[in-house]
């Protein structure tokens, strides 16, 4: 049977504290009145005055006796009320816990069923990618269809293995960051933000080349923001080019250094408000290899990678992304005896800035990289 009454434990505690104060005030008043009322002195030595004083004294003693019993009852009532309030509060907390458990159970069941049927939950963040036993980074999981961020892509450790892509969000959430590429491989792309609102994930960095004269991996592109609003993810930085091998044979020149990887492009902004992502920096060019014996020229330095383009800004309010700076060129290798040194690599061009909104600025052009130094003549 339902009841229109309810109990608030905090109100019970407040009432108990006030009853304690009332009891203390009454006890103080009774104690103060006990002396003057129970010990009335006769006005004169005659029998009438003595009888009147005795009558008032007996009344006062009777009142004090009743007051003591009332105080004991008041004290017992207050203790019982406090104990009942604490017991009710404890029972209410236990009931709330049980109700929450019951309420969560259907949600977990629905979430699990949706994940089993579609590969992503209704609500929740996507799992982060990992590095597999083969050194390949796996993609991050997508966030929930309604709410949830995409998982970050796994980093690759194997040469030539691209970084794992970041997971995308559903309706609301951030895209996951892309994983770093293995040696000489591109970084993973950042995941897209939620359709209603959410920023894109950053692109993963390209892997530095390790094979002599190898080209650095390109940075991953930043993820796009959601349709209604959000910022595009920043592009990943390009990997460095590997130095060229030095010659050990006369006349044979040193190997040219590898070029730096290009920076990843910034992600696109949300349509209404937000901002484009910045382009990633270009990778540094590798140094040219030194010449070996006589007449063995130094190798040329590798060119710096181009900076990534800034992401497109929104239509109404927000800026375009800045272009990424170009990578510096590698230094030329020194020539062998009687041979010239190699030329330095060219600095990479900066990325172009992304267009801004009606209320917003165009992204800045990225700075060009510095050229490498010329190798010394042997």
- Reply yes or no on whether the pLDDT at 194 is more than 90: yes
What is the phi/psi pair of residue 236, to 5°?
-80, 155
pLDDT at 118 over 90: no
Which residues, including other chains, have CB under 8 Å from residue 178's CB and lie 6 or more apart?
A: 152, 153, 163, 164, 165, 166, 187, 188, 189, 190, 191, 201, 202, 203, 204, 220, 236
pTM for the predicted model, two decimal places: 0.71
245: closest CA among 374, 342, 159? 342
- Please compute the mean of the pLDDT values over residues 228-244 and round it to a whole number: 96
Residue-range domains of the chain with CATH: 9-103 (1.10.287.850), 267-378 (no CATH)
The overall average pLDDT reported for the chain is 87
The region, left, alpha or beta by phi > 0 then psi within -120 to 50, assigned to residue 231 is: beta
Q: How far apart, in whole angstroms, are the C-alpha atoms of residue 313 and residue 301?
A: 36
**Residue 174 near residue 126 (C-beta atoms within 8 A):** no
Sheet of 273-275: strand order equals 229-231, 273-275, 317-319
**Neighbour tally for 71: CB within 10 Å:** 15
Indicate whether 3 pLDDT > 50. Answer: no
For residue 267, CA distances in Å to 130, 219, 234, 263, 272 come to: 24, 12, 6, 12, 15
**Both tokens assigned to 161:** 């293995």
Which pLDDT belongs to residue 113? 81
Residue 182 or 116, more confident: 182
Greater confidence (185 vs 251) lies with: 185
pLDDT confidence bin for 1, thresholds 50/70/90: very low
Question: Scanning the structure block, which residue is given the tokens 């700076």?
Answer: 325
Beta strand extents in 9-54 (DSSP E only): none
What's the pLDDT band for 360 if we cut at 50, 70, 90? very high
pLDDT cut 90: percent of the chain above it: 62
pLDDT for position 233: 98
Residue range 247-265, pLDDT digits in tens? 998 899 999 999 999 999 9
pLDDT digits (tens, 9 = 90+) for 38-93: 666 666 677 777 777 677 767 767 777 777 787 788 788 878 877 877 777 777 77
Distance from CA of residue 170 to its chain's centroid?
17
Per mean pLDDT, which range of 35-49, 131-145, 147-161 is the poorest? 35-49
Torsion of CA 206, 233, 152, 146, to 10 degrees: -160
Sequence-ordered list of residues with C-beta below 8 angstroms from that of 146, at least 6 positions apart, any chain: 122, 123, 170, 171, 172
pLDDT at 60: 67
């Amino acid at each position: 049977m339902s009841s229109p009454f309810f109990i608030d434990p905090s109100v019970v505690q407040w009432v108990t504290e006030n009853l304690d104060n009332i009891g203390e005030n009454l006890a103080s008043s009774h104690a103060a009145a006990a002396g003057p009322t129970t010990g009335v002195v006769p006005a004169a030595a005659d029998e009438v005055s003595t009888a009147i004083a005795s009558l008032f004294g007996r009344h006062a003693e009777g009142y004090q006796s009743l007051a003591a019993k009332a105080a004991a009852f008041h004290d017992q009532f207050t203790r019982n009320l406090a104990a009942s309030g604490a017991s009710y509060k404890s029972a209410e907390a236990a009931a709330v816990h049980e109700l929450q458990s019951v309420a969560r159970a259907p949600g977990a069941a629905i979430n699990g069923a949706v994940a089993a049927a579609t590969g992503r939950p209704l609500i929740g963040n996507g799992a982060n990618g990992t590095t597999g036993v083969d050194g390949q980074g796996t993609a991050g999981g997508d966030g929930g269809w309604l709410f949830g961020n995409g998982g970050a892509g796994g980093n690759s450790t194997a040469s030539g293995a691209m970084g794992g892509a970041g997971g995308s969000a559903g309706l609301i959430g951030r895209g996951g960051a892309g994983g770093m590429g293995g040696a000489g491989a591109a970084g993973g792309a950042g995941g897209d933000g939620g359709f209603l609102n959410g920023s894109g994930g950053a692109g993963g960095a390209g892997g530095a080349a390790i094979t002599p004269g190898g080209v650095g991996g390109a940075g991953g592109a930043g993820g796009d923001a959601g349709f209604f609003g959000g910022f595009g993810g920043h592009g990943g930085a390009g990997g460095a080019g590997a130095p060229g091998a030095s010659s050990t044979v006369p006349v044979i020149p040193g190997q040219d250094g590898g070029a730096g990887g290009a920076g990843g492009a910034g992600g696109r902004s949300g349509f209404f408000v937000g901002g484009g992502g910045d382009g990633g920096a270009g990778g540094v060019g590798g140094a040219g290899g030194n010449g070996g014996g006589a007449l063995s020229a130094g190798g040329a330095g590798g060119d710096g990678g181009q900076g990534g383009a800034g992401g497109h800004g929104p239509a109404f309010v927000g800026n375009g992304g800045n272009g990424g700076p170009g990578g510096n060129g590698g230094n030329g290798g020194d020539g062998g005896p009687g041979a010239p040194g190699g030329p330095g690599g060219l600095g990479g061009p900066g990325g172009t800035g992304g267009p801004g909104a009606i209320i917003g600025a165009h992204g800045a052009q990225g700075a060009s990289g510095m050229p490498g130094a010329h190798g010394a003549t042997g």
